[in-house]
Chain A
Amino acid sequence: MRFCRVRSVAEAVDELSRWGTEGRILAGGTDVMPQYLRDEQSPAALIDISGIDGLQGISEVGGVTSVGALVTLRRLATASLIAMRHPALAQAAAAVGGWQTQTVATLGGNVCSGAPWADTVPALLIADAQMMLVSKSGRRRMNLGEFLEGAGATALRPTELLRAVELEPVGDRSAEGYVKVGRRSAMDLAAVGLALRLSLTPTGVVSDIRIAVCGGTRSPHRVPSVESAVVGSQLDDGRLDWAAAGAELASAAAPERTEAARYRRQVLPGLLSRLADRCVAGIPGECG
């Protein structure tokens, strides 16, 4: 195996095009290295992109947040711009592994692993994330929902690199959050993760709601059947009855005939109502 250290996106895409499916991108390495050490992966080359300065930025321009692929989970969990504009993403990043993992693990790695339990992905899905991809033949952008192609699979081509993720920040009359349940409260993969973004009119009508889940057997995904059932609902005394939405969420997000899915069906309704109440309380105005 070769170790190819690259310093720029141009060098990275050169190496990716040279190695193709034989090359493996190395960023924080918290997935790649354990897989290599367990002999689950034997790439001909590790392409170390961790030194590319141009992929480390967080910025907000023209109402769009751009997060570089190499931004670490620790930075996402602690950066003030993310805390203000993407609180669900900050909470999701803080829920991945322990501090040791968060120090080096990157947003790009969490998304491109294609893992069904990737905590940051539901938080990105409710921000309508766009994947900014680059290869030797040019650039393309792709909606995150289309990018994810099932457990462990994404639309990322072997010669392609994720540069950044572009996100729609949470609006003035909106709030969002992420909650996760695992077998223990830290250092475990999500059995269920739920991200919610809720927007209300001044009179307390749900003007927009976005729900995304992770932790099942397939890619993290939005749950449009619940979103369309809830949008337009009127809060009553600052509350919404989430029972019907919770039941729909459980059956839509965990339909499998397995014990693990049965557990997720039991947990999801409670997570939804708790997270929704937290969001409502976070939106200013008489509706809350």
Chain B
Amino acid sequence: MPGTADEQSVSVRVMVNDRAHQLDVDAGEVLLGTLRDRLGLTGPKEACGEGECGACTVLVDGGPVASCILAAGSTNGRVVRTVEGLAGTDELTTLQQAFVRHAAVQCGYCTPGVLMVLTALLDDVPEPTETDVRRALAGNICRCTGYQQIVEAALEAAGTVQS
């Protein structure tokens, strides 16, 4: 039934990092705000606030999206994963471990978004080339590393190159 949303707010059922949530979000609210302010998931970062830099990247139904411009209301029935949802309680993913080994993190602000894009890439393309990795990272801005360590870490995690 159309138009059942209350003035200024809309009900959303969304799965975030394997936990089901039922939330009332504002009509103009973006997913990044929902994650950080309502659910306390501060891994995704706000930087540009207009979908240009990738710091806010999370996975929605497995695909990377800029959560700073995604309407929270349109995530109804969807599955969201943030950087907090990657590791288990005491073990990092292969990709995260490779980031540590290659010092692919400097200031760290872009890292949660970069990890999510590369997680999607490794799910999609089992043996990515360096070009695949760099193309996947086109929407993620990192001003510290020059990307080289990030690319090396991704290739090692994919098993494309030996550590």
Please name 6 further chain A to chain B contacts, defined as beta carbons within 8 Å, in addition to the given A97-B51, A101-B139, sorted by A numbering. A3-B10, A6-B2, A14-B2, A29-B69, A51-B77, A100-B64
Given the known A-B contacts A34-B50, A100-B51, A100-B54, are A50 and B74 also in contact in the complex, defined by CB atoms under 8 Å?
yes
A229 at the interface (CB under 8 A from B): no
Would you list which residues of chain A between 11 and 46 have a CB under 8 Å from chain B? 11-12, 14-15, 18, 26, 29-30, 33-34, 36-38, 46
Give A residues with C-beta under 8 Å from B: 1-6, 11-12, 14-15, 18, 26, 29-30, 33-34, 36-38, 46, 48, 50-51, 74, 97-101, 103-104, 186-187
What are 20 A-B pairs with beta-carbon distances under 8 A?
A2-B5, A2-B7, A3-B71, A4-B3, A5-B74, A14-B2, A30-B66, A33-B70, A34-B69, A37-B69, A38-B50, A48-B71, A50-B74, A51-B76, A74-B63, A98-B54, A100-B64, A100-B65, A104-B63, A104-B70
- Given the complex of chains A and B, what is the CA–CA distance between A11 and B3 in angstroms? 9
On whether the beta carbons of A1 and B5 are closer than 8 Å, the reply is no
On whether the beta carbons of A3 and B27 are closer than 8 Å, the reply is yes
Chain B residue with Cβ nearest A13: B2
On whether the beta carbons of B2 and A101 are closer than 8 Å, the reply is no
- Chain A interface main SS type: mixed
On whether the beta carbons of B10 and A5 are closer than 8 Å, the reply is yes
Chain B residues with Cβ below 8 Å from A46 are: 27-28, 71, 73
Chain B residue with Cβ nearest A12: B2
Of B8, B50, B54, B66, which is within 8 A of A1 by CB? B8
B122 at the interface (CB under 8 A from A): no
B140 at the interface (CB under 8 A from A): yes
Of B3, B65, B73, which is within 8 A of A103 by CB? B65
Chain B residues with Cβ below 8 Å from A50 are: 74
Chain B residue with Cβ nearest A6: B2
On whether the beta carbons of A33 and B76 are closer than 8 Å, the reply is no
On whether the beta carbons of A99 and B8 are closer than 8 Å, the reply is no
Chain A residues with Cβ below 8 Å from B77 are: 51
On whether the beta carbons of A103 and B50 are closer than 8 Å, the reply is no
B86 at the interface (CB under 8 A from A): no
Proximity bits, B1-21, A CB within 8 Å = 1, else 0: 111010111100000000000
Chain A residue with Cβ nearest B72: A3
Chain A residues with Cβ below 8 Å from B120 are: 99
Chain A residues with Cβ below 8 Å from B136 are: 99
CB B56 to nearest CB in A, in angstroms, measures 9
Chain B residues with Cβ below 8 Å from A99 are: 63-64, 117, 120, 136, 138-139
CB B146 to nearest CB in A, in angstroms, measures 15
CB A165 to nearest CB in B, in angstroms, measures 22
On whether the beta carbons of A187 and B139 are closer than 8 Å, the reply is yes
CB A64 to nearest CB in B, in angstroms, measures 28
On whether the beta carbons of A100 and B71 are closer than 8 Å, the reply is no
Chain A residues with Cβ below 8 Å from B140 are: 98
- Given the complex of chains A and B, what is the CA–CA distance between A188 and B52 in angstroms? 9
Chain B residues with Cβ below 8 Å from A104 are: 60, 63, 65, 70
Would you list which residues of chain B between 101 and 150 have a CB under 8 Å from chain A? 117, 120, 135-136, 138-140
Chain B residue with Cβ nearest A104: B65
- Given the complex of chains A and B, what is the CA–CA distance between A36 and B69 in angstroms? 10
On whether the beta carbons of B54 and A26 are closer than 8 Å, the reply is no
B82 at the interface (CB under 8 A from A): no
Chain A residues with Cβ below 8 Å from B70 are: 29, 33, 104
Chain A residues with Cβ below 8 Å from B50 are: 34, 37-38
CB A92 to nearest CB in B, in angstroms, measures 15
